[in-house]
């Protein structure tokens, strides 16, 4: 039972690690354009991201895939930048229904990339267990729980600023996405591959 909580706590801590806040930035950029009315879509997006994240961890844990860590450390902030830029260029579009299938596919792909960033650490901590499937599921549950907490915080803060401080939804998306972009550019520069 203690191992069960160990991997859940690791997944939870992986997302909420303030020293590696790239996961938080991605979730903010992913959900800033939504409200509580869109909770089903947000939950689906977050779960799709977790599935991609878990799938890449699974493939790496069983040595099916191995990727250059420098490339992954560059691609992770790039996914955040792309998500933030998407928000900036589509902020005037109040309906996020257009091309939703593409959004789900891109979210899954970005989840794969983010999972690869944690794969070597996960492989090291799970090296002494025979089957890595159960630890992966437990880790994914921790990741999903932490992501839902972040999404709730984003939704609550968005509600407060749009309701009480009278930010328009468009302006809120532009401000928050610009802050995320501003925070991720130094990450890209620090992890440049050229």
CA torsion sign for 136, 1, 23, 89 is: positive
Q: Six-digit token pair at 180?
A: 């995320």
Q: What is the pLDDT of residue 3?
A: 74
Cα of first residue to Cα of last residue in the chain, in angstroms, is: 46
Q: What is the pLDDT of residue 173?
A: 97
pTM for the whole structure: 0.92
pLDDT in tens, the chain (194 residues): 567 798 899 999 999 988 889 999 999 999 999 999 999 999 999 999 999 999 999 998 888 998 899 999 999 999 999 999 999 999 887 565 556 788 899 999 999 999 998 888 888 777 777 788 899 999 999 999 999 999 999 999 999 999 999 999 999 999 999 999 999 999 999 998 87
How many other CB atoms sit within 10 Å of the CB of residue 16? 18
Tell me the three state secondary structure of residue 107. helix
Domain ranges of the chain: 2-190
Cα–Cα distance, 76 to 132 (Å, whole number): 24
* Cβ-contact 73, 184 below 8 angstroms: no
Taking CA atoms, 88 is separated from 26, 34, 45, 83, 174, in Å, by: 14, 14, 19, 9, 5
Closest by Cα among 123, 5, 114 to 64: 123
């Amino acid at each position: 039972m203690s191992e069960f909580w160990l991997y859940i706590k690791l997944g939870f801590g992986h997302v909420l690690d303030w020293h590696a806040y790239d996961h938080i930035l991605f979730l903010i950029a992913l959900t800033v354009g939504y409200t509580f009315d869109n909770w089903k879509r947000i939950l689906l997006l977050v779960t799709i991201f977790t599935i991609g994240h878990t799938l890449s961890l699974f493939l790496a844990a069983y040595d099916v895939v191995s990727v250059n860590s420098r490339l992954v450390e560059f691609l992770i902030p790039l996914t955040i930048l792309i998500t933030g830029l998407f928000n900036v260029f589509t902020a005037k579009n109040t309906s996020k229904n257009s091309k939703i299938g593409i959004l789900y596919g891109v979210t899954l792909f970005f989840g794969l990339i983010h999972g690869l960033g944690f794969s070597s650490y996960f492989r090291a901590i799970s090296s002494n267990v025979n089957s890595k499937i159960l630890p992966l599921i437990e880790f994914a549950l921790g990741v999903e729980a932490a992501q839902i907490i972040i999404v709730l915080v984003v939704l609550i803060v968005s509600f407060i600023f749009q309701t009480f401080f009278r930010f328009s939804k468009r302006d809120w998306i532009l401000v928050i996405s610009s802050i995320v972009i501003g925070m991720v550019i130094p990450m890209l520069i620090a992890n440049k591959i050229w």
